[in-house]
């Protein structure tokens, strides 16, 4: 049975495709690519059908990550097939939990940086869209750090299902 994770930000062109690419690489490195499916979406429809922001693409590629992405909007019906919905900031967390059809679905929504023990109080990944390239590099660093803990949690869930 495939374990499904979806990363969600605002427009699905910066943070969530970055998180999707990084986490997919971590899943492959861990040998879980046949067991874990990674995806992303946005809370809004502003960029549906577009590719990832060019700054996202360049930062990812310069750091060895592959990306082939088309933006889309998160749909309420997806909760039924997803195991984990990873919000990139607290606004996304609230929006997704309101959208969730059931309390069980709402519990599937978590903040990405909650998986980074060093993150402490501020668990939001700031939106780099309106800033310079350094914001995209900072975003990548936060995503990479949180992906370690997220992978450990997903691996535990996957192994629990197989056992």
Q: Catalytic residue at 55?
A: no
pLDDT of residue 56: 98
Please tell me which residue in 6, 9, 14, 139 is annotated as part of the active site: 9
Task: Parse the chain into domains and list their residue ranges.
Answer: 3-162
The whole-angstrom separation of Cα 41 and Cα 7 is 6
3-162 has which CATH code? 3.40.50.2300
Please tell me which residue in 4, 72, 97, 127 is annotated as part of the active site: 127
Is the whole-model pTM more than 0.95? Answer: yes
Of all residues in the chain, the percent with pLDDT exceeding 90 is 94
55-106: per-residue pLDDT in tens? 999 999 999 999 999 999 999 999 999 999 999 999 999 999 999 999 999 9
Give me 47's structure tokens: 């960029």
Q: Catalytic residue at 33?
A: no
122-159: per-residue pLDDT in tens? 999 999 999 999 999 999 999 999 999 999 999 999 98
pLDDT of residue 121: 86
Query: Whole-number mean pLDDT of the chain?
Result: 96
Q: How many CB atoms lie within 10 A of CB 105?
A: 18
pLDDT of residue 163: 62
DSSP letter, residue 73: B
Task: Give whole-number Cα distances, 25 to 29, 81, 130, 145, in Å.
Answer: 6, 22, 27, 13
Please tell me which residue in 6, 15, 53, 110 is annotated as part of the active site: 15
The whole-angstrom separation of Cα 3 and Cα 108 is 12
pLDDT of residue 161: 80
């Amino acid at each position: 049975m495939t374990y499904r994770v979806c990363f969600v930000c605002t427009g699905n062109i910066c943070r969530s495709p970055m998180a999707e690419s990084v986490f997919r690489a971590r899943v492959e490195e861990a040998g879980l690519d046949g067991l874990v499916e990674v995806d992303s979406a946005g809370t809004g429809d502003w960029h549906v059908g577009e590719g990832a922001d060019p700054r996202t693409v360049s930062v990812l590629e310069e750091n060895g990550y592959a990306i082939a992405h088309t933006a889309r909007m998160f749909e309420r019906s997806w909760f039924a097939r997803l195991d984990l919905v990873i919000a990139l900031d607290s606004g996304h967390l609230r929006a997704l939990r309101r959208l969730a059809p059931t309390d069980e679905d709402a519990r599937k929504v978590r903040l990405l940086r909650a998986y980074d023990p060093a993150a402490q109080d501020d668990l939001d990944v700031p939106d780099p869209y309106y800033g310079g390239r350094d914001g995209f590099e900072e975003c990548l660093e936060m995503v990479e750090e949180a992906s370690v803990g997220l992978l450990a949690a997903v691996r535990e869930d996957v192994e629990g299902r197989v056992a």
